[in-house]
Chain A
Amino acid sequence: MINLTIDDRTVSVEKNATILQAAEKLNIKIPTLCYNEEMAPIGSCRICVVEAIKGGESLIVSACNTGVEEGMKVYTKSEKAIEARKFAVKILYSENPSVKLIRDLAEEYGVVEDINVRKSECIHCERCVHACRDVVGQNAIVLTTCGLSYGNDAPSLKWDFDKCIACGTCAFVCPTGAVKMHDHDGVRTLLTPESKQDFTLKKCVSCGSYFMPEVQAQYLMKKTELPADKFDQCMNCR
């Protein structure tokens, strides 16, 4: 077990625990955006930053993906921590003032500037990218990051619909609703921040209800090596 203090309270946790998990044990709340308990930490939003003092040195670290260390002193509400978090909120707020989650954070941290760079609901937390790659295994979403080769373009997400199997996991994990999925009239529509794609749904041969996207049935057929007629019926008729 590793012993550390968070906001001057002592806690002892497993050696591979993160600062976020240790804080949770003490019921100390650290805000998160990109973090999803069921996925490996992404560490992209920086909203969870805290001040960590180790070996006499004060560092600003993200709590969701920084491991605990013996004797570490963590401050979640120190001036330095709040300042750093406020900066993260500022960046998000200037890019995504229309997202309620971000507006609430801005209000909480007293961030007022709204330079309104973009109107997208996507906050580039990358949850969808990681979920599609690590959970679904399709790797159909690519984040084109800002960097020298991209000039001053804002980062954007590209969906590769040749790889996508219309499972909607990206929509499920998206914290802002920037990805949406819905079924209607025999079609599943996936709405992403920058594109819209329709997928044909399969019709049950017995009762006639639509139950699964064609592409997904094809994918599962290959994966499970089951014969095609195993994918002809819906869950009720099977």
Chain B
Amino acid sequence: MENYNVFASRVVSKNEPLAPGHRACTGCGEVLALRLCAKAFGKNTIVVNATGCMEIIASQAPYNSWRLPWIHTLFENASATASGIEAAIKVLARKNRVPESEINVVAIGGDGSTVDIGIQSLSGALERGHNFTYICFDNEAYMNTGIQRSSATPFGASTTTSPAGKKSIGQSTWKKDMPAIMAAHNIPYVATACPSYPFDLMNKVEKALATKGPAYIHVFSVCPTGWRSAGNLSVRYGRLAVETGVFPLYEIENGVYKMSVEVPELKPLTAYTKGQGRFKHLKEDNLAKIEARVHEEYEKLLEKCNLSAVEEGK
């Protein structure tokens, strides 16, 4: 990945389709991700927003933070609504009322909304091949209603519905591999991203929008409130998730896997778990078990990337 840092940020678009003054918590990594995505949406995008933190914090009646056309949906039908909008644009374009190629349709939702509840309508929209982008903002639990576990909550994390205690380690299941499920639909573009790598994130959103057909981006979103971590460290935790192999950044373009950030040597897992209240109860052996699994998954991903590189080289 191009590590542009200091200077190039001055030429990033100053357009803010998501206005300041919303009600996200201080240090929210999810709204930072959303703001960067919104910059990449540009001016001709329709946003479909499932219920969750990002919807609630941006739409306290009578106010709304969006400077783009925006529609609030239920958990289960964000993708169905986006499908309908995309189909409507096609009809209007046929009648010469709008230029079809210039309007993007984006559906957004949290992990609860995407990985659990909205997965059926999302799967259907991908299968039908609608020309839209779905972005999942994964803060690893149902945060807006008070930290309930989802199928994206990592093993060992303590939430209100997977509380750690004498007989419980916290979340007792492993995180669902959502990007793999999306890739299994054979859609042209799947990517993972994180706002700690802002250029990479915006670039991936632009790529997804330019893709003809469905595209899916899974965005790792640090939630200091739900993770019980310091709000000023959200960007750092995002980086550490990548550097420890917990959340690798990669793209799957037409089935071709490619690492976006290559980490020559993964940092120890504790560099990431340290300071997060949701992992505080974990013992050394618990952490070792999780680390082994993280490394195993990372190796599997690397293998897919290497295989792709070999096939492409041919």
Contact = CB atoms under 8 A, between A and B. Distances in A.
B96 interface: no
Nearest to A167: B7
B2 A168 contact: yes
A209 interface: yes
A195 B3 CA distance: 20
B239 A172 contact: no
Contact of A167 (B8, B12, B265): B8
Given A38-B14, A235-B239, A236-B239, A172 B5 contact: no
A181 B2 contact: yes
B216 interface: no
A123 B12 CA distance: 22
A169 B4 CA distance: 7
B10 interface: yes
B267 A172 contact: no
A168 B8 contact: yes
Interface string A208-238: 1100100010001000000000000001100
Contacts of A184: 262
B21 to A, nearest CB: 23
A36 B4 CA distance: 17
Contacts of A182: 1-2
Given A182-B2, A183-B3, A235-B236, A172 B8 contact: yes
Tier of interface size on chain A? 20 to 34
Contacts of B4: 167-169, 171-172, 181
Contacts, number: 64
Given A168-B2, A209-B243, A212-B5, A38 B236 contact: no
A172 B5 CA distance: 11
A135 B10 contact: yes
Given A207-B267, A209-B243, A235-B239, A216 B11 contact: no
A236 B11 contact: no
B240 interface: yes
A235 B238 CA distance: 12
Contacts of A167: 4-8
The interface residues of chain B, by DSSP majority, are classed as: helix
B123 to A, nearest CB: 33
Interface string A171-194: 111000000011110001000000
Contacts of B145: none
B97 to A, nearest CB: 13
B13 A169 contact: no
B220 interface: no
Contacts of A236: 236, 239-240, 243, 271
A32 to B, nearest CB: 14
B6 to A, nearest CB: 6
B11 A36 contact: yes
Interface string A22-55: 0000000100000011110000000000000000
B199 interface: yes
A136 B7 contact: yes
Nearest to B196: A235
A29 B101 CA distance: 12
A131 B15 CA distance: 19
Contacts of B3: 168, 183, 188
B11 A39 contact: yes
A208 B243 CA distance: 12
A168 B271 CA distance: 29
Nearest to A180: B2
Nearest to A135: B10
A20 B8 CA distance: 24
Interface in B229-263: 236, 239-240, 243, 262
B240 A37 contact: no
Contacts of B199: 172
A236 B267 CA distance: 12
B243 A38 contact: no
A129 B246 CA distance: 40
Given A37-B13, A38-B14, A209-B243, A169 B8 contact: yes
A38 B6 contact: no
B6 A172 contact: no
B7 A169 contact: yes
Contacts of B243: 209, 236
B9 to A, nearest CB: 9
A167 B2 CA distance: 10
A181 B7 CA distance: 14
Interface string A126-141: 0000010001100000
Given A167-B4, A236-B236, 5 more contacts: A36-B11, A38-B14, A136-B7, A172-B2, A212-B5
Interface of B: 1-8, 10-15, 102, 199, 236, 239-240, 243, 262, 265, 267, 271
Interface of A: 29, 36-39, 131, 135-136, 167-169, 171-173, 181-184, 188, 207-209, 212, 216, 220, 235-236
